[in-house]
Chains A and B, each alone.
Chain A
Amino acid sequence: MTLITENLVFLNLDSPDRHEATRVLAQALADEGRVTDLDGFLADVRKREEQMPTGLPGGIGIPHARSAYVTEPSLVFGRSLEGIDWGAEDGPAKLIFLIAAPEGGGDDHLKILAALARRLMRAEFRESLMNAHDAAAVVDVVTREVVNP
């Protein structure tokens, strides 16, 4: 199982706000066939975002949803050099992780996403993503740290 591919990496995400940014990232999932209904999935993500914005201190945004329109657990990575406001108190998000989980997914799938979430808390992990110079490097870091630790 691949959590992320090079097509799911956006090193220069350039969107005016978080909803636009989320749409760009989610579109990639739809193009890859990992999301069956783009608007349905976006609605699920937005519903989660409205409960409590997913921006976190340290310039991170983690829009996410468990959705019936997701076919396999996926991560889309977006990096924005100027930053996009994600509702965090300490400023805009520069690293954006769109996490998509299938509605009824088994434990194994969800454990990978849990491992991903834990890695997001590690400064080294974030730094290596911040400094990655191409999509392949991002896929490498995620695969090494999360999928096959």
Chain B
Amino acid sequence: MKFVGVTSCPTGIAHTYMAAEGLEQAAKAAGHTIEVETQGSAGFDKLSPETIAAADAVIFAVGVPVRERARFVGKPTIDTDVKKAISDGPGLIAQAVAAAKEKAANPATATADSPPPSAGGLMTKVDHGASRGAKVRQWLMTGVSYMIPFVAAGGILIALGFMLAQLAWGETGAVLVTKVPMDHLITDFSVLSTKDWAALLFQVGVASFGFLVPILAGFIAFAIADRPGLAPGIVGGALALVVGAGFLGGIAAGFVGGFIALWISSWRVPKGMRGVMPVVVIPLLSVFATGLTMIVILGPPLKALSDALTSWLNGLTGTNLILLGVLLGLMMAFDMGGPVNKVAYTFATTGLAAAAVATTGTSLQIMAAVMAAGMTPPLGLALATTVRRRLFSEPERENGQAAWLLGASFITEGAIPFAAADPLRVIPSCMLGSGVTGGLVMLFGSTLRAPHGGIWVTPLISNPLLYILAIVIGTLITAAAVIGLKAAGPGPVRTELDAAGLAEVVV
């Protein structure tokens, strides 16, 4: 028979390999073959999916939880302590033979408790031998690579929706398209109506964007804790959106969910309970603890922060407009959809609503500055990935292509994959460019009558040429800053999975 095994131990330098040797000797002596994956400190060479598929049974002889255990789901499994493989390899091989025979005789019962394995399984970019700093970057990068398809699909759909809306409605199309109710699309969608198509593109794009932060958080947690991390990470990410914490809150949720899941998975439980750990206990406790953290611990200070920022901004009316533009620009780029960004954007749109009644020029200028400042982060990063490809990982370069369109459409989220992967260098660069652009728009005196739409609402912008000049300058500054900072520090997280990771999610 053919078997596969996984061995591991707390330190990863001795028992792991002794256990592997024990299993191999025992299998050979009994006339079977076994391939063992040693999940030790010297990295680990993963068993190929074909080898796992061909195995009659699996032996886990482990001192720490099996990494990427999902690969083995559905196989008859012997789950035991690492020392057992050292002291009694032949006994384990005999158990594996019995389990394989039982499964062959009665296939239904052996697999009843577990779903069939997915093709290939999900991958992380985590190299277990890496230093702590490198690991954090790899965790972030895993989240980012799974998030990128949602950013690209959602962003481009929304941008296409805006474009088509301009055709269908005229110059205020980008505003009107967002007002078409979902109910209308469900009951009265007309294939001949350009407006309906525009609204459809927009709504699907918005739905895709809804997953951005949950997927980021979920796969950061997945990289940290393997499969048990997914549920708390995704739920934590969704709650980050609910409490208005944006993608930075999502990163926090990923770490919180991942470490809670990792910790709970490490509990030593009586043998009888092991079966219910992954199905009930770990998901239940980790999801609840992550949710509690996000709502009760992270929620109140975030709410206090945005309340304080809002009243502070409202108190600023009457101050120097250029300074206000710089400030709003910095805020827009700080967390791209998080609490600070939202305060600045809401400040502008509230002014816009008031301006519809009072027609004061200042509110329209503020809206113009806020939108321009929200456009430069993706544009600056798109430019940076174009002129200095080598400073970016493969998924980032791919995302850079989409970021042009996203930036031009005032979809600041296009910059999130870059910011999430390397926040300390990307966020300051974005803030610098957005701050300058915000100030310049105020200086040039452009006004805007729409709350969104990017270059597609150019007809609603006064002094459009100077407006675009302000955006170009901010874009150049962000690109230069990010290139400078990235060139000075360690390179991108590069693994052979860079390309594969992305391809896999798309397929």
Contact = CB atoms under 8 A, between A and B. Distances in A.
Given A117-B14, A117-B16, A52 B63 contact: yes
A121 B11 contact: no
A53 to B, nearest CB: 10
Most buried by B among A48, A52, A57, A117: A117
Contacts of B21: 117-118, 120-122
Interface string A108-121: 00110111011011
Interface string A33-66: 0000000000000001001101011000010111
Given A107-B129, A117-B21, A62 B42 contact: no
A117 B17 contact: yes
Nearest to A119: B21
B372 to A, nearest CB: 46
B78 interface: no
A51 B42 CA distance: 21
Contacts of B13: 64, 66, 99, 101, 110, 113-114, 117
A48 B17 CA distance: 17
B86 interface: yes
Given A57-B87, A121-B22, A66 B17 contact: no
Contacts of A48: 10-11
Interface string B131-160: 100000000000000000000000000000
Contact of B40 (A51, A54, A62, A114): A114
B42 A118 contact: no
Interface of A: 48, 51-52, 54, 56-57, 62, 64-66, 99, 101, 104-105, 107, 110-111, 113-115, 117-118, 120-122
B342 interface: no
A80 B277 CA distance: 43
A51 B379 CA distance: 53
Contacts of A105: 41
Which 6 A-B residue pairs are closest in the complex by CB-CB distance? A110-B42, A117-B17, A121-B21, A118-B21, A114-B17, A57-B87
Contact of B10 (A51, A114, A121): A51
B264 interface: no
Contacts of A51: 10
A65 B16 CA distance: 13
A51 B266 CA distance: 13
Contact of A118 (B20, B43, B63, B129): B20
Contacts of B17: 113-115, 117-118
Interface of B: 10-18, 20-22, 25, 38, 40-43, 63, 83, 86-87, 129, 131
A57 B10 CA distance: 19
A70 to B, nearest CB: 11
B42 A54 contact: no
A115 B13 CA distance: 10
Contacts, number: 72
23 contacts: A48-B10, A51-B10, A52-B63, A54-B14, A54-B15, A57-B86, A57-B87, A62-B18, A64-B14, A65-B11, A66-B13, A99-B13, A99-B14, A101-B11, A105-B41, A110-B40, A110-B41, A110-B42, A110-B129, A111-B42, A113-B13, A117-B15, A121-B86
A104 B135 CA distance: 13
A56 B41 CA distance: 21
B16 A101 contact: no
Nearest to A89: B87
B10 A113 contact: no
A114 B11 contact: no
Nearest to B20: A118
A65 B14 CA distance: 9
A117 B86 CA distance: 11
A56 B11 contact: no
Given A52-B63, A107-B129, A113 B86 contact: no
Contacts of A113: 13-14, 17, 42
Contact of A107 (B43, B63, B83, B86): B43
Contacts of B38: 114
Contacts of A62: 14-15, 18
A117 B41 contact: no
Contact of A64 (B11, B42, B83, B87): B11
Contacts of A101: 11, 13, 41
A122 B25 CA distance: 9
Nearest to B43: A107
Contacts of A121: 18, 21-22, 25, 86
